[in-house]
Chain A
Amino acid sequence: GSITTADGSALVKLGNTTVICGVKAELAAPAVDSANKGYIVPNVELPSLCAERFRSGPPGEEAQAASQFIADVIENSQMIVKEDLCIANGKLAWVLYCDIICLDYDGNLLDASVFALLAALKNVQLPLVTINEETGLSEVNLKQKNPLIIRKHPVATSFAVFDDTLLIVDPTAEEEDLATGTVTIVTDEEGRLCSVHKPGGSPLTGAKLQDCITRAITRHKEVKKLIDKVIKSITPK
Chain B
Amino acid sequence: DGELCSACPGDTSVLAGLYGPAEAKLSKELPDRAALEVLLRPKVGLPGVLERSREQLLRQTCEAVLLGALHPRTAVSLVLQVLSDAGSLLSCCLNAACMALLDAGLPLAALFCGVTCALQPDGAILLDPTARQEQEARTTLTFAIASSDRRVLMATTKGSCSVEEMQQCLAAAQRAASTIFQFYRDSVRRRYSKS
Identify the A interface with B (CB < 8 A).
Answer: 61-62, 64-65, 67-69, 71-72, 75-78, 164, 180-181, 183, 188, 191-206, 209-210, 213, 217
Contact = CB atoms under 8 A, between A and B. Distances in A.
Nearest to B148: A203
Most buried by B among A64, A67, A71, A201: A64
Contacts of A181: 60, 64
Nearest to A164: B151
Interface residues of B, number: 38
A199 B154 contact: yes
Contacts of B148: 203
Contact of A199 (B60, B141, B161, B171): B60
A52 to B, nearest CB: 15
B52 A206 contact: no
9 contacts: A64-B53, A192-B162, A194-B160, A195-B156, A195-B157, A196-B141, A197-B155, A198-B155, A203-B64
B11 to A, nearest CB: 24
B151 A199 contact: no
A204 B155 CA distance: 10
Contact of A198 (B146, B154, B160): B154
- Majority SS of interface residues in chain A? mixed
A132 B12 CA distance: 49
Contacts of B170: 206, 209
Contact of A203 (B53, B146, B171): B146
A65 B53 contact: yes
Interface in B37-76: 49-50, 52-53, 55-64
Given A193-B163, A200-B64, A61 B55 contact: yes
B146 A192 contact: no
B157 A193 contact: yes
B133 to A, nearest CB: 18
A64 B162 CA distance: 28
A62 B52 CA distance: 9
A69 B153 contact: no
Contacts of B156: 195-199
A206 B141 contact: no
B185 interface: no
B188 interface: no
A168 B141 CA distance: 24
Contacts of A193: 157, 160-163, 166
B157 A68 contact: no
A201 B61 CA distance: 6
A198 B58 CA distance: 11
Q: State the 3 A-B residue pairs at the shortest beta-carbon distance, nearest first.
A: A200-B60, A203-B151, A68-B53
Given A192-B160, A206-B167, A200 B49 contact: no
B159 A76 contact: yes
B56 A204 contact: no
Given A62-B56, A200-B64, 8 more contacts: A64-B53, A68-B49, A71-B49, A180-B64, A197-B157, A201-B154, A205-B152, A209-B155
Contacts of A71: 49
B163 A213 contact: yes
Contacts of B53: 64-65, 68-69
Contacts of A204: 151-152
Contact of B152 (A67, A203, A213): A203
A203 B146 CA distance: 7
Contacts of A198: 152-156
B155 to A, nearest CB: 4
A234 B100 CA distance: 56
B158 interface: yes
